Amino acid sequence: MTSGAFRERLFGAWVEIRENLGRSILQALGVLLGVASVLGGFSISDSQRRRADQMFVKMGGLDKLNVQSKAAVRDGRPTAMQQANLGLRDADAIGGEALKADAIQGVSRQKNARSRVVSAYGDQDRQISGIGGDFIPANGYGVARGRGFSATEMDTGAPVVILGTEAAQVFFPKGDALGQTLRIGSIPVTVIGVFEERIFRFREGQRNQFWWRNRIIAVPANLVQRRMNGDAYRRVDRITFRIPDMGAMGAFAKQLSDLVKANHRLQEDFRLDDVAARIRRRNSQGDVYDIIFMLSGVLALVGGGIVNVNIQMAGLKERVREVGVKMALGASGREIFKGFMTEALLLTVLGSLAGLVLGVGFSWIITKSLGIPLYMTPASFVWAYGLAAAFGFLFALYPAWKASRLSPMEALRYE
């Protein structure tokens, strides 16, 4: 259109909206609430999900496959083979690593024990974590002071220990823990390092969810195996493979499962736990919430849309004469249709802009009160806006069509 007809329609629509401010606000309200609820819902669930991702990263990353032992049960009883079985062993870790040596970035083993731990200040029954391989980085630990285990210490099962901050505090409340001696059971061990404090609060003001990680008393796995509750089979409690390539993870899990089963005389006495898969499952649960949020937004938009149609139809009654005059002056039905559509769509645009603002405010308040950082994705904005536009368009069609179908003569005579 060379005559700027669109601009004229837009201007006319704006005049109409301004002149009927109360009615227009009512009309925009449905859109506004719909947009706000879609955007708010999405943003809150995005924020929650991102916080959870941050937690997993802090726990040492998502790219891990854990293998743990499990009771092999048939008909509700332990199988005879299980009783004779050997559990998870070092051999499983070594065999597993050999399967895909190029994809695996690290293997860590864990062998736990419970024991009396005694120092000059404390005497407690504690869990002892025998660790091997890349346990420290793979689980998000870092040595704050002192040093980690050397390869030789790992191999020989040297009597050395690294303490979590809580353990260091309990057993050595005064002075430096480094270089001191601790007795685990009957074995004297030397403190060679202290871990960084682990802190994670999912929501602000919550207690530290990683507090128990600060209780760690870490010794070489070989020390536990050989001198605490060891056995000739070098059993371990947990093996963790780290595979950054998520694509390789699935195939590896299958191969590993076959290998370990073969090692274990075909007993399913172990459990694979793919951390990434667990997160995918959790995310798909999040999708359910997204659908619920979207549904509530869509329902608000549908409700608002129906109200809009009603208001528009009532408004049309007042405007029949105006339509008649425009038609007499040469406006075609198409022109009238476009005029009404422009009005409705302008209202939708204004309403959804206000809705986006409200949605941001809404999400900010909710996430603030939950105590998690607000995280909004462009996709949420696009969804919220797109849905509003689609429904605004859909519900504008009928009144606009109705107006365009008026007979010019009857419209002119309408009182």
Partner 1 sequence: MSTIIQTQALTKVYGANGTAVHALRGIDLTVEKGEFVALVGPSGSGKSTLMAILGCLDLPSTGTYTLDGHPVQGLSGGELARIRNEKVGFVFQSYNLLPKATIARNVELPMLYAGVGRRERRERAMALLEKVGIADKADKLPGTLSGGQKQRVAVARALANEPALLLADEPTGALDSKTGAEVLDLFRELHQQGNTLLLVTHDPSIAALAGRRVEIRDGEVVMGGEEEDSMSSSSPGTHPAEHHLEVGR
255 counts as binding partner 1 under rule CB under 8 A: no
What tokens were used for 322?
């105006």
CA–CA gap between residue 320 and residue 408 (Å, rounded): 9
Using the Cα atoms of residue 16, residue 22, residue 26 and residue 31 in order, give the sign of their dihedral.
positive
Q: Which stretch binds partner 1 (CB under 8 A): 39-47, 91-99, 348-356, 405-413?
A: 405-413
Q: Which is nearer to partner 1, 265 or 413 (CB)?
A: 413
- Of the candidates 340, 356, 341, 414, the one whose C-alpha atom is nearest the C-alpha of residue 388 is 356
CA–CA gap between residue 337 and residue 15 (Å, rounded): 17
| The one among 10, 12, 169, 273 contacting partner 1 by CB under 8 A | 12
Q: Which is nearer to partner 1, 12 or 87 (CB)?
A: 12
User: CB–CB of 138/64 below 8 Å?
Assistant: yes
CB of 25 to partner 1, least distance (A): 18
| The one among 83, 186, 285, 407 contacting partner 1 by CB under 8 A | 407
CA–CA gap between residue 203 and residue 51 (Å, rounded): 9
316 counts as binding partner 1 under rule CB under 8 A: no
318 counts as binding partner 1 under rule CB under 8 A: no
315 counts as binding partner 1 under rule CB under 8 A: no
Q: Which stretch binds partner 1 (CB under 8 A): 177-185, 255-263, 323-331, 380-388?
A: 323-331
CB of 293 to partner 1, least distance (A): 40
288 counts as binding partner 1 under rule CB under 8 A: no
CA angle 403, 407, 413 (to 5 degrees): 100
CB of 336 to partner 1, least distance (A): 9
String of contacts with partner 1 for each residue 15-54, x by CB under 8 A = xx--x-----------------------------------
> Which residues, including other chains, have CB under 8 Å from residue 243's CB and lie 6 or more apart?
63, 64, 65, 100, 103, 104, 105, 249, 252
CA–CA gap between residue 136 and residue 154 (Å, rounded): 13
CB of 54 to partner 1, least distance (A): 55
DSSP 8-state symbol, 211:
G
| The one among 126, 234, 242, 326 contacting partner 1 by CB under 8 A | 326
User: CB–CB of 39/294 below 8 Å?
Assistant: no
| The one among 22, 76, 247, 330 contacting partner 1 by CB under 8 A | 330
Q: Which stretch binds partner 1 (CB under 8 A): 9-17, 85-93, 94-102, 347-355?
A: 9-17
Backbone angles phi, psi at 281, to 5 degrees: -60, -45
* Three-state DSSP state, 96: helix
Q: Which stretch binds partner 1 (CB under 8 A): 57-65, 159-167, 305-313, 325-333?
A: 325-333
CA–CA gap between residue 120 and residue 248 (Å, rounded): 50
**CA neighbours closer than 13 Å in the CB half-sphere of residue 66:** 18
CB of 389 to partner 1, least distance (A): 26
Binding site for partner 1 (CB under 8 A): 1-5, 8, 12, 15-16, 19, 321-322, 324-335, 407-409, 412
